[in-house]
Amino acid sequence: MTMQILDGGTGRQLKRIGAPFRQPEWSALALIEGPEHVVRVHRDFIDAGADIITTNSYAVVPFHIGEDMFQNQAGELLRLAGQLAEQAKRSASRKIRVAAGIPPMFGSYDPDKFEPDRAIDMLELFRDSLLPHCDLILAETLSCIAEISAFQDVFSDCDKPIWISMTLEDETPEPGRPKLRSGEFIEDALDTVLRQNVDAILFNCSQPEVMADGVLKAAGLLGSDVLIGVYANAFPPQNANSAKANEEVSEIRKDLTPKRYAEFAAEWRALGATIIGGCCGVGPEHIRALRGG
């Protein structure tokens, strides 16, 4: 099957090109203060070979932009994120698809902070604001089964492909038995996912070293009609202090060169992954290496 190439980490690429960027706003700051930078990053990844770009919507949640701004401006910012991705798509010389990026509602790697009742209203806002601008829906960095279930409750009846991406523990004491960051096993998460409509299962925002186990487990449990994908990050292990992922700008590994990332990707492909891209710290140069440039 032909490989589909996702983009890389939008937030860190915004920082890299000098766009407005800081914590806690993270990538949302560029939507607020410099949206032209968002279009540039989308185009950077398209030029590098990405087939799919993801809306810059990951940080449009209360943790990053604050409760007041979320209540008053989240819908506007989400629609803008969709419009900017569409603008980059229209300017491309080849077919590009836009993925509506649906983040964890209460912060990365923090399953204990998940609030099921409140999440539904928030997810509905993402759905209503982004759906008109996207070709597929991508739930990202889900850390627990409850997050997966809430997302599916809101999005499963949308008339667009549904992609669900989970984040894995960076260090697991049981090789071959990958876990979500909640400690729940992948096989239990997949059992939940498959009860409703899903077109692709992905693993993201974990170290590349742990992704092969996730792909192997998914390949053994999924039917041939469900695609498998990976987009790893370039962070050091994040298990020890989850707050760091939400409160600090984490360092980027020096050893994860484009060549090395492409080697990991070749392993994922051999195990059954057909969607490959990058998450935090994976830039256009890594995407270009995936494309073979």
Do 199 and 163 form a contact (C-beta atoms < 8 A)? yes
Separation between Cα atoms, residue 81 and residue 73, nearest integer Å: 12
The region, left, alpha or beta by phi > 0 then psi within -120 to 50, assigned to residue 288 is alpha
- Asked if CATH classification 3.40.462.40 holds for the domain at 4-291, the reply, yes or no, is no
pLDDT score recorded for residue 245:
53
Q: 171 — phi, psi (to 5°)? A: -135, 115
pLDDT digits (tens, 9 = 90+) for 53-110: 999 999 999 999 999 999 999 999 999 999 999 999 999 999 999 999 999 999 999 9
- Residues 251-290 have pLDDT tens digits of 899 999 999 999 999 999 999 999 999 999 999 999 999 9
In what helix (H) or strand (E) does residue 43 lie, and over which residues does it extend?
A: helix 35-48
Q: Under 8 Å CB-to-CB from 109, ≥6 apart: which residues?
A: 141, 143, 167, 181, 238, 242, 245, 246
Is the pLDDT at 241 greater than 50, yes or no?
no
247 pLDDT above the threshold of 70: no
Q: E strands within the chain?
A: 4-5, 52-54, 97-102, 136-142, 162-166, 200-204, 227-232, 275-278
Strands 200-204 and 227-232: parallel
Domain map of the chain by residue range? 4-291
Please, which pLDDT band fits residue 244 given cuts at 50, 70 and 90? low
Residue 153 pLDDT > 80: yes
- Once rounded to an integer, what is the mean pLDDT over residues 153-163? 95
Contact 94, 227 (CB under 8 A): no
- Among candidate residues 39, 42, 3, 27, the one with its CA nearest the CA of residue 284: 42
Q: Do residues 41 and 17 touch, judged by C-beta distance below 8 A?
A: yes
pTM reported for the whole predicted model: 0.95
Q: Which two tokens stand for residue 77?
A: 């910012």
* % of the chain with per-residue pLDDT over 90: 88
Burial, 211: exposed, middle or buried (Cβ in 10 Å; 0-12, 13-18, 19+)?
Answer: buried
- Torsion, Cα 237 31 150 195, to 10 degrees, reads -80
Query: pLDDT band at 224, cuts 50/70/90?
Result: confident
The answer to whether residue 13 scores a pLDDT higher than 70 is yes
Query: Could you give the 3-state DSSP secondary structure of residue 42?
Result: helix
Give 269-286 as a DSSP string: HHHT--EEEE-TT--HHH
249 pLDDT more than 90: no
Say yes or no to pLDDT of 111 above 70. yes
Chain segment 116-142, per-residue pLDDT in tens: 999 999 999 999 999 999 999 999 999
At 160 the pLDDT is: 97
Summarize the confidence of residues 156-172 as an average pLDDT: 93
Residues forming a β-bridge with 180: 168
- pLDDT, the chain, mean: 94
Name the residue among 179, 135, 139 with its Cα closest to residue 161. Answer: 135
Instruction: Name residue 200's amino acid.
Output: A
User: In the predicted model, what is the mean pLDDT of residues 172-188?
Assistant: 89
Percent of the chain with pLDDT over 70: 96
Tell whether the model's pLDDT for residue 242 goes beyond 70: no
